[in-house]
Structure 1
């Protein structure tokens, strides 16, 4: 008990080849955990520590507490992922992988970390549309952040049907993937001090669906377990990242797999006994969109999401929350289909149009983005601009305006525009997630000089925000400007390229178009019919 209270970090020494390696032993609440010391000795890594367990009797519902270790737990379990399927790509088969033994996290600890002088903590949530991804996605080890004295944690959470069935039974009310994330945050609060991290200086970050998750965690009326947030290219208001839950989803999946029933509990019992590969494949074949939803209310069950992201009331965490939020310059470049029907199909994700209004809305979008041209290969970049604005740029403005109204702040806005000669993209058309390898320095040793400069700057900005809540507390040779936060009346943003510059109101004409579009078609929007975006 004395050792546990003292949070002692021990070491174990053994021979690897001709070298002596000293690996860390950390005493956490579950027992002793052995990590791995980096070859250069700069940091230690702990892979695959369980923060909770999936309940085998109900893999779609609430998790069980993390296991207690009878012996030393070897945290060298790489490549763990929850059940999932890869994205559809041309000339590639989709691959199903993962297991339910997946509620784990990774911890990367600078060598200078100590219990007496705990360091700031970054907790990172991966993206993947709530369909795929894992704790090794995007971040790997946040090398440049660890190098700057930050403890980095990356987490797994349940996906697809195991994380986002939203049913009409109290055992599976919905949003279990978000609840897994919250369990991971609770684990960090209780255990990160043993690694030399400060549980009261935690930044929650994510990209794409991970970024939307960060804001879902911010709005959830739960205990405050983080103190700053980084939101990279993803919002709850992004079309497709919030839906009205399909309460018959389990029945439909069970029916596809051969069980004819109208009873949700019976369907869940059948799916629990089915292989995860079959369940994931069935959901994919049925083209189900399983993402966060508003949960139905049940006695004794606390909801995680109580309202849609346009009308949800602020939690007590939002006031004065420091936020860093932004996009890339061409989020959906080379992703949008070149088919003439693409505009209609995208619009109907967020809007429930009748035929007359669908035609009217589609024509309005075509005229604004394409002029008198038809959607085709020749209008590819124009379609990319449409999808980027619709899915990311305007939803970011909606989210920022809402947060400002709720007294969050300071809020720092950015636009990442850098395209390297090695990125395979057009200049000034930085794609979705393209900033990640620079912010977290994945592959830094192979970067060219320009890439290293961008990475040095971006990781410095992120590190400053994680440490101080301000990305530019002072001007430096590396970052020779002050990044001003947004306000109710102004929208400065940092344009991140080979050079840094403060500009104002990114894609303002498009934002105004979408403001008018949403206002004109408000009664057809799935969630804004009853609320105001002002």
Structure 2
């Protein structure tokens, strides 16, 4: 199994090297700090590893990058990643000095022809990932938007919290916010329109987008926000007992558990030792997949990002007054359910082990392990299995029922609640789509190490049509005729959303959810048609008669 992941990462490195080896001299941009030169790659300019913050000090908030340089700085190198634990090969990769962003501009973009800006926050459960994993080529070929991808600190360096003033937490979100400020201030120098900035992201990136929507300041930084396959209300996003996790990590590193002493100890530890200790905190394989994530900070914390639970912030109406879209795929749960169809070193599928250890593992897989009542966890595990599986054994034969359970509990239920709360308390309507167009190869095939199993439209399949994950690029999910059409409609949707505040898919406006007395409405995208209609919890992959459907 792991060899397949290594091949994918090798392909990533190869494509990046190939892209930059073909680069020629690009345009020069005059920044407040000095001049910077990018690369011309095919039909667009690439500027990589632009510092938006000073090199970070471990467990301290990032600071704006204010240093000047002489001459022309080269922005053509291989994109860098923040330090993280490689869960598929059991080693630490990336670097601590990682607070960079990358800008990709169509050739026609200049100071006299400002284009809308597409900012992307990468996913990875706040533990993994990099801005380097995503290709801007599809958006650049259309040539109507500038793309910006950003790095932010991950895992304990980005989200560890002592729940006091020593390490309050949310450093990764504060990194993102600092990047947004830099983009708002400087993007016009690259031909981007600072009044037409769309903040986007997928999975943990989608949840990050939602957190920024819950910040009043964000309405001064971006024009619209679109989070995909993730929101602040998903159960895996917020840390439930951050102090307890911090103490566990401290114990593994032989550090004291008190805030200031712990902070001093962690600052002195080699970074690979810290992330190797993180690898020991998983309960089963790489589950729970998000050990460190956003937290609620104390109200009097200097520079706090979030001092109340997301639900409370929405109910108070303390959110940015900008258009917001939150979307999903029909089979989100393949992200972590599909792994159980892969085999262990003895050739036995993990799903058989899951069946035998369901009551032990379910709380960690479905994120209610912090529930203090042991009997309550047992009852919940039992009721969930009964609700989704009936009397069936958890097996390859019943796998799709397990996947639906994971889809609903880990992603879809939280997204639906987000729509309901925003339309009730928010200043603007909220828009949504569900992507139900299966691809030849998606995240389910990746984690199952199985190219034949049909998982449906999985986590990230929609994103493959406009900002593809580079290790999947060899499977060309965006190149068949139907997908090419959908890709163009997605790009139009983002362009109209940031420019007009209302997303258009082809020639159809996505329905605005603003009336609490009506069912949630959304756009559903199939292979050969798309439909507008109300949410139905048991909807199949066919349009309902109550919907209005269109062909491409």
SS of residue matched to 1:349? coil
Q: What displacement does 1:507 show?
A: 4.3
Query: Contact 1:174–1:292 at 8 Å: present in 2 too?
Result: yes
Structure 1 residues 400 and 186, CA gap change in structure 2 (3 angstroms): same
Quick one: structure 1 residues 316 and 255, their matched pair in 2 at CA, closer, same or farther if it must change by over 3 Å? closer
Note the C-alpha offset of 1:171: 4.3
CA distance 1:269–1:248, change in 2 (3 Å): farther
Q: How far did residue 31 of structure 1 move?
A: 1.2
Check conservation: 1:417, 1:428, Cα contact below 8 A: no
Aligned to 1:391: 410
Q: Does 1:490 align with 2:519?
A: yes
Alignment of 1:262-341 (within 5 A): 262-287=257-282, 289-298=291-300, 301-313=302-314, 314=316, 317-319=319-321, 321-333=322-334, 335-336=336-337, 337=340, 338=351, 339-340=354-355, 341=358
The aligned residue for residue 361 of structure 1 is 380
In structure 2, runs of 5+ residues without a counterpart are 1-21, 283-289, 341-350, 443-450, 540-552
1:241 aligns to what? 237
User: Could you say which residue in structure 1 is the equivalent of 2:424?
Assistant: 405
Check conservation: 1:438, 1:459, Cα contact below 8 A: no
Displacement of 1:408 after TM fit? 4.0
Distance 1:149 1:136 in 2: 21
Q: CA deviation at 1:402?
A: 1.0
TM-score normalized with structure 2 length: 0.79
Q: Provide the secondary structure at the position in 2 that maps to 1:157.
A: coil
Contact 1:326 1:414 in 2 (8 A): yes
Aligned residues: 475
Higher normalized helix content (fraction of residues) = 2
Instruction: Measure the CA separation in 2 of the matches of 1:20 and 1:360.
Output: 59
Q: Given that residues 419 and 426 in structure 1 are in contact (C-alpha distance below 8 angstroms), is that contact kept between their aligned partners in structure 2? A: no
Match of 1:97 among 93, 99, 120: 93
CA-to-aligned-CA distance 1:469-508 (integer Å, 9 cap, x gap): 22228xxxxx254432223213222221222322434442
Query: What is the RMSD computed on CA atoms of the aligned residues?
Result: 2.7
Q: CA deviation digits over 1:81-107, x for unaligned, max 9?
A: 11101234xxxx233201111000000
Q: Post-superposition shift, 1:130?
A: 0.6
- The equivalent position to 1:227 in structure 2, one of 223, 226, 229, is 223
Deviations 1:92-141 (A, max 9, x none): x233201111000000112221223321111110000011111123x322
TM-score under structure 1 length normalisation: 0.82
| Secondary structure class of the residue paired with 1:184 | helix
Deviation at 1:349, TM superposition (A): 2.3
Structure-2 change in CA distance of 1:60 and 1:353 (3 Å): closer
> Is the 1:248–1:264 contact (alpha carbons within 8 Å) kept by the matching residues of 2?
no
Q: CA deviation at 1:21?
A: 4.8
Tell me: CA distance 1:425–1:501, structure 2 relative to 1, closer, same or farther (3 Å): farther
| Correspondent of 2:252 among 234, 256, 276 | 256
Which residue in 2 is equivalent to 1:468? 500
C-alpha change, 1:414 and 1:462, in structure 2 (3 Å) is same
SS state at 1:116 partner: coil
Runs (5+) with no aligned partner, structure 1? 1-18, 474-478, 511-534
Contact 2:38 2:47 in 1 (8 A): yes
User: Which residue is 1:156 aligned to?
Assistant: 151
Q: Is the 1:35–1:44 Cα contact (8 Å) retained in structure 2?
A: yes
* Aligned residue in 1 for 2:195: 200
